[in-house]
Amino acid sequence: MAKIILAVGSGGFLGSVLRYLVYRYFENPQTSGWPWGTMAVNILGSLLAGFLFGLSEKTNLIPETLSLFLLVGFCGGFTTFSAFALDNVKLFQEGAFAQNFLYISSTILLGVLAIFIGHYLSTTLIR
């Protein structure tokens, strides 16, 4: 059990650090207030999670501990629902209702689509 906790925790640490770096790369204070950084990490994380899920589903290349490190730890630390929710509250408080609706719907739709694409890529490209 300690090995699993260490795997998930270290994956979460690495995912969180990378989330911060990617967020900083995409977030630009001069933009129109659109939360590009949070959206980027959530869509990229969904794509990676779908790919890893498909890979682990199709092959035995990923042992359970590594799967927990990558999917639960890394992808869980990399993506962020709390930042997504906070971005929505900020948009709502600014009165950007149309932008708020567009952000919610596009993040959810693109996130689910990214899972499907990642899964498709890993199950069709990896033989």
| pLDDT (tens place) for every residue of the chain, 127 residues total | 999 999 999 999 999 999 999 998 988 766 667 899 999 999 999 999 999 998 888 777 888 899 999 999 999 999 999 899 999 999 999 999 999 999 999 999 999 999 999 999 998 987 6
pLDDT of res. 114: 97
pLDDT of res. 57: 80
Q: Measured between alpha carbons, how far is 23 from 28 in angstroms, rounded to an integer?
A: 9
Domain definitions of the chain by residue range: 2-125
pLDDT of res. 60: 77
For helices 36-58 and 97-125, what crossing angle results, to 10°? Answer: 30
Question: What is the DSSP-derived secondary structure letter of residue 68?
Answer: I
What's the token pair of residue 96? 């950007």
Is pTM, for the whole model, over 0.85?
yes
DSSP string over the chain: -HHHHHHHHHHHHHHHHHHHHHHHHH--TTSSS--HHHHHHHHHHHHHHHHHHHHHHH-S-S-HHHHIIIIIIIIHHHS-HHHHHHHHHHHHHTT-HHHHHHHHHHHHHHHHHHHHHHHHHHHHH--
